[in-house]
Structure 1
């Protein structure tokens, strides 16, 4: 989806910085997510991708810069306003994070029971509709322990969109999935985003699947955005880090070898 140049972004980050104690994780991030877009945030482990999701969701507050969602400065919201904003967001946690002592039905019903006063009959209809959308209406009575990894992720996806959110955040939605489940979840993310008229921010390492479904990609390295663009632009990028990441090359800006003294110097000293 190509956003209108006059349309204000749903999510906007400007010069965002964040540190855990003295360890600086983000060093001036600028990022936009427009309405209807599916946006991926990619980068190596520990580069700050999940931290960005937590800043957008208001779990943590930036140490500098500005995080806005629908024009509201998330870092300045009080508890009541922040909770109201979060009710308009959905979240799919890494590996799904289903409630293990609740059935599939009750997992999906949980946000509806927690945040609405809808009658039980209507909640039941909505839950079955969400499960139908992810192909699991027939699994409503199962427990999470009875699900495959792919099925569990699809239940978590149904729960994430139970309240028809304006924004859905995904933390590594493809982690640990087999190729069939990965493809199914990827297409569901795209289809549900479009059906709901929502926006999606997805943190992921999965290059191939992500570039098939997203509208825009941001690459993070050492706390900064080092590249951004459409899937076509990312595939054609000559940026050394992006090229190494997209093509899964062993050596490049991220070296294969951990820094060490030359082997010759160790052999000269008799070190084996």
Structure 2
């Protein structure tokens, strides 16, 4: 029997890929030769120490910033080479849930979710109404359509923001600290919604989060970024079993390790004048 060969298809290709990407702000390099692949239909969590470059990855994907070198690919397209019209077309295929929701405070819950539909489509109002109510129903807030952001809780605001993020039926949804500041019940609801909507709508999701318990529970893959590089990537269980000291310290919430509790300083005896004059 002749050997069988697997034929690569478009669907096999990652939706998002970073190839040898270096970037920074001014003279400060944040990411250095980073490689990252995000499979279609999966949930990828980005974890790591504060200031390590996780949110920078999200900014690269929205082309708010460009890499110094390397390629940032979305569905096979190098974002750096897109003109303004092409970039806007790509951005319409992305949804963004900002930290703390970032709702428009002077618009109702309904109008917040309707905003991207009115901004980017020419759909009739009757259809916009139906779509908004469908998205709000998906996050359990159809009955809160007429409330203002000041009248909803933090957890509800995050769910409204999620409904807005999926209003245009994007291929990719980016989450910047979606669990920050939530009580345990709201946090659990938000995490379950991210996973359920990802699967039900065929989305691809990238989550930046420090909440490892909830993030590991819903993520297919986890990538840890530290010192400007991806130092570990795999399933949540693979990262839990990692023998890398930095991964162990972060996942185990250890106060000391490769990331030191004490910052560099002169010797204690010198600072406090022990054994001599100050």
Instruction: Give the TM bin, normalised by the shorter chain.
Output: over 0.9
1:138 is the counterpart of 2:153: no
1:244 is the counterpart of 2:249: yes
User: Aligned to 1:268, what secondary structure does the other structure show?
Assistant: coil
Partner of 1:89: 94
1:156 is the counterpart of 2:161: yes
- Write the distance in 1 (CA, Å) between the matches of 2:208 and 2:275: 47
Quote how far apart the aligned CAs of 1:98 are. 0.2
Quote how far apart the aligned CAs of 1:244 are. 0.8
- Summarize deviations over 1:189-244 as a string: whole Å, max 9, x none: 01111111010011111111000000001100011011111011011111111111
- Write the distance in 2 (CA, Å) between the matches of 1:68 and 1:268: 61
Distance 1:155 1:269, change over 3 A: farther
Which of the residues 264, 267, 275 maps onto 1:268?
Answer: 275
Partner of 2:84: 79
Normalising to structure 1: TM-score of the pair?
A: 0.96
CA RMSD of aligned residues (A): 1.3
User: Aligned to 1:205, what secondary structure does the other structure show?
Assistant: coil
1:202 is the counterpart of 2:202: no
| Unaligned stretches of 5+ residues in structure 2 | 1-5
1:229 is the counterpart of 2:234: yes
- Write the distance in 2 (CA, Å) between the matches of 1:97 and 1:11: 25
Partner of 1:14: 19
- Write the distance in 1 (CA, Å) between the matches of 2:148 and 2:277: 60
Partner of 2:181: 176
Normalising to structure 2: TM-score of the pair?
A: 0.94
Partner of 1:218: 223
- Write the distance in 2 (CA, Å) between the matches of 1:156 and 1:5: 40
1:191 is the counterpart of 2:193: no
What count of residue pairs does the alignment treat as equivalent? 268
Quote how far apart the aligned CAs of 1:270 are. 5.0
Runs of 4+ more than 3 Å apart: none
Distance 1:103 1:269, change over 3 A: farther
1:120 is the counterpart of 2:125: yes
| Unaligned stretches of 5+ residues in structure 1 | none
Quote how far apart the aligned CAs of 1:5 are. 9.9
- Write the distance in 1 (CA, Å) between the matches of 2:182 and 2:247: 24
- Summarize deviations over 1:65-115 as a string: whole Å, max 9, x none: 000000100011110000000001100011100000000000000001111
User: Aligned to 1:41, what secondary structure does the other structure show?
Assistant: strand
